[in-house]
Amino acid sequence: MPRSTLSVAIITLNEEDNLARTLASVKFADEVVVVDSGSTDHTVEIARSFGAKVFVETWKGFAGQKNSAIERCSGTWVLSLDADEELTGELEAEIVKMLETGAEIVPQVDGYRLRLRHVFLGRWMRHGGYYPDLKLRLFRRVTSSGDTRFTDRPVHESVQIAGRVETLKNDFLHHGYPNLEIYLEHMNRYSSLGGQIAAMKGKVSRSGIAFGWNIVLVPVLTFIWNFGFRLGFLDGREGLLLHLYHSTYISWKYAKAWKAAVMAGKA
């Protein structure tokens, strides 16, 4: 029985601090496709040193860039990773086994969710709703319903698969926030994108009560729920900071949605 082929799709921009770790964890793949959007550091050189197929393209948004990477893949299966993510050895072995046997034994499965382990300030966030963070990242490049693609959204893009989806047992790691500066910069950027989505969905009101609810009470209740009831406090000081700043992100998101609506004359 022939082994199914695997392509790894990664998008990059100035990821020299992360990319080598990611590429080292997927050496077993049949090909690695990297779509870069104009890095000014050594990202492209690092990708090529690992034998990746590198393409430099203008930025088209997260979904557009990831779809471009998928289009350049040739494997039966595609594993979509961010440049700051890493497979564990256990997950690698599980994927290899699937490629050798499961893909043919259970051909109706079109995708697999992977268990994401967030590492914040060097600590694995085990509680507070952060683990396991299931992500649909391993999928057939072409299914019976057509080519697999990411949905076009400003942020939190996701893969849509009409067929059967299963969940693998082992983890991959997200090393996105080694320090607070990077985390706060990301939350500022993502809250702007999230605010755009909220404004487009009409989640903005002229009511002062609704404004206070979104800007103040929702963030506070989110913190209490995740840090307290979902045991986020068990992750120590790092857990406290993560949940505190995540709640702040929610406040920023709705504040930016309200401001965008005001500028557009809708609030």
Do 13 and 145 sit in the same domain of this protein? yes
How many domains would you assign to the chain? 2
Same domain, residue pair 33 and 115: yes
Same domain for 168 and 222, yes or no, is: no
Residues 103 and 187 in one domain: no
Q: pTM value?
A: 0.90
Residues 153 and 184 in one domain: no
Lowest mean per-residue pLDDT among 37-46, 150-159, 172-181 = 150-159
- What's the domain range around 47? 6-177
pLDDT at 266 over 70: no
1 occurs within a structural domain: no
pLDDT digits (tens, 9 = 90+) for 216-264: 999 999 999 999 999 999 999 999 999 999 999 999 999 988 887 777 6
Secondary structure in 3-state letters for 54-87: EEECCCCCHHHHHHHHHHCCCCCEEEEEECCEEE
**What is the rounded CA–CA span in Å between residue 254 and residue 246?**
13
Phi, then psi, of 107 in degrees rounded to 5: -65, -15
Asked if residue 214 and residue 156 are part of one domain, the reply reads no
CATH code (residue 25): 3.90.550.10
Q: Are 90 and 210 within one domain? A: no
How far is Cα 247 from Cα 225, in angstroms, rounded to an integer? 11
Distances 69 to 182, 196, 224 between C-alpha atoms, Å: 25, 25, 40
Residues 111 and 56 in one domain: yes
Domain endpoint, select from 177, 192, 220: 177
pLDDT at 145: 78
Q: Are residues 158 and 254 in the same domain?
A: no
